[in-house]
Amino acid sequence: MIFLSPDRLWLLLGVLGLLIAYVVAQFARRRHAVRYAALPLLARVAPRPGWRRHLPAALFLLMMAALVAGFARPQTDMRVPREQATVVVVLDISDSMRATDVIPDRFSVARDAAAAFVRRLPSQYRVGLVPFSTTAAVAVPPTTDHALVIDSIMRLEPGGATAIGEAMVTSTEASQRLIGKWVSGDSASSGAGPRARQRAERIPSRMVLLSDGASSRGIPVEEGIEAAVLAGVRVSTIAYGTDTGVLRDQPVPVDHETLRTIAAETGGRAYRAESARELRRVYRDLGSSLGYRVERHEVTSWAVGLGLLAGLLAASTSLRFTGRLP
């Protein structure tokens, strides 16, 4: 939390002064009572006030502190639901996804988790699907028909090599073609007018890339990164599987470094998951980050509301325990 007028917080010294004055007054009151009252009679007649006698004062001081905080105009970061976005799910279906280091195998768990991820996305989001192995192709262009995307995910079968760079270029083109802006950066050739290009900048495009191995075919990964950066598409990567994965007696470890580099260079986030449970957690986190944006809002009304509530409680408890207003 920050304050737009932090210099006004100096008024809290006044609240602190009231607290000190109250404590001093309580000690003075105790000395005065002892001086003029017979102790045995006082113990028998006067009930012990306990903590309830101090409650109205504490609530009054809380009210003053909250009002000072409101006067300083506090601001805090708040999550606001996105109205729309384009998300392209890029799914590795290479042969190494048959590895069984994740039960029953990497591919089955990844396919089910990706489908659940799409199912949880807001209905107004456009979602596309680009599976890749030796090559990459757009299985479903970005659409609001999430059921179609889920059905296409569940129909996928693994096989072939791994072409991450080509998958990134294909996915970037798919997300940008939707709004008339090509990955080459030549927006004029796309025929999109200024209004369409302005809209393209407002609607965020995200790529969620899940893979378990190093790129071994097609366009270099560096070109895929360049394409995504040029188009302003953030790529979040999921390194899925364990480093001890084996397929037909051949080790198929996860290439964490390449996937971390992709996320870092494009402004996305890099995740790693070594089990079905971890993968589901990663997708939940991704869905949350894609579905909301963080905005800074002034919350003066919260502080004022807290102060008013504290003031009402101070008044009611004072009437209840002392018979007068504080």
pLDDT over 80 at 30, yes or no: no
Domain boundaries, the chain: 2-77+297-322, 82-274
User: Does the pTM exceed 0.75?
Assistant: no
- The structure tokens listed for 123 are 């209905």
If residue 139 lies in a helix (H) or strand (E), which one and from where to where?
none
What tens digit of pLDDT does each residue of 160-191 get? 999 999 999 999 988 876 554 433 444 444 44
Q: What 3-state class would DSSP assign to 209? A: strand
- 62: number of Cβ within 10 Å: 18
Average pLDDT, the chain: 82
State how far the Cα of 319 lies from the Cα of 326, in Å rounded to an integer.
8
The encoded tokens of residue 92 equal: 């590795």
Tracing tokens 């002892």 back to the chain, one arrives at: 34
**Residue 132: enclosing H or E segment and its boundaries?**
strand 126-132
In angstroms, the CA 83 to CA 159 distance is: 37
The answer to whether 280 and 288 are in contact (CB under 8 A) is: no
Highest mean pLDDT among 31-45, 94-108, 192-206, 311-325: 94-108
Q: Provide CB contacts within 8 A for 226, sequence distance 6+.
A: none
Strand partners, 72: none
Cα–Cα distance list, 283 to 94, 101, 104, 277, 318 (Å) = 20, 20, 19, 10, 52
**Quick one: pLDDT at residue 99?**
92
Q: What is the pLDDT of residue 171?
A: 93
Question: CATH 3.40.50.410: does it fit domain 82-274?
Answer: yes
Cβ pair 132, 164 in contact under 8 A: yes
Tell me the average pLDDT across 38-60. 65
Closest to 130 (Cα-Cα) out of 111, 153, 159: 153
Higher pLDDT, 193 or 289: 289
Segment among 132-141, 189-198, 301-310 with least mean pLDDT: 189-198
What share of the chain has pLDDT > 70, as a percent? Answer: 80
Cβ 49 vs Cβ 272: under 8 Å: no
DSSP count for the chain of H helices, then E strands: 11, 11
Model pLDDT for residues 244-267, shown as the tens digit of each residue:
888 888 888 899 999 999 999 999
Q: Which residues pair with 247 in a beta bridge?
A: 250
Per the DSSP assignment, residues forming a β-bridge with 234 are 206
**Residues 68 and 310 sit within 8 Å (Cβ to Cβ):** no
| CA 209, 215, 218, 224 torsion-angle sign | positive
Give the residue ranges of DSSP H helices in the chain.
12-36, 39-45, 55-71, 106-120, 146-154, 164-177, 194-202, 221-231, 256-266, 276-291, 300-322
Average pLDDT estimate for 216-242: 92
Closest CA to 326 of 41, 63, 72, 12: 63
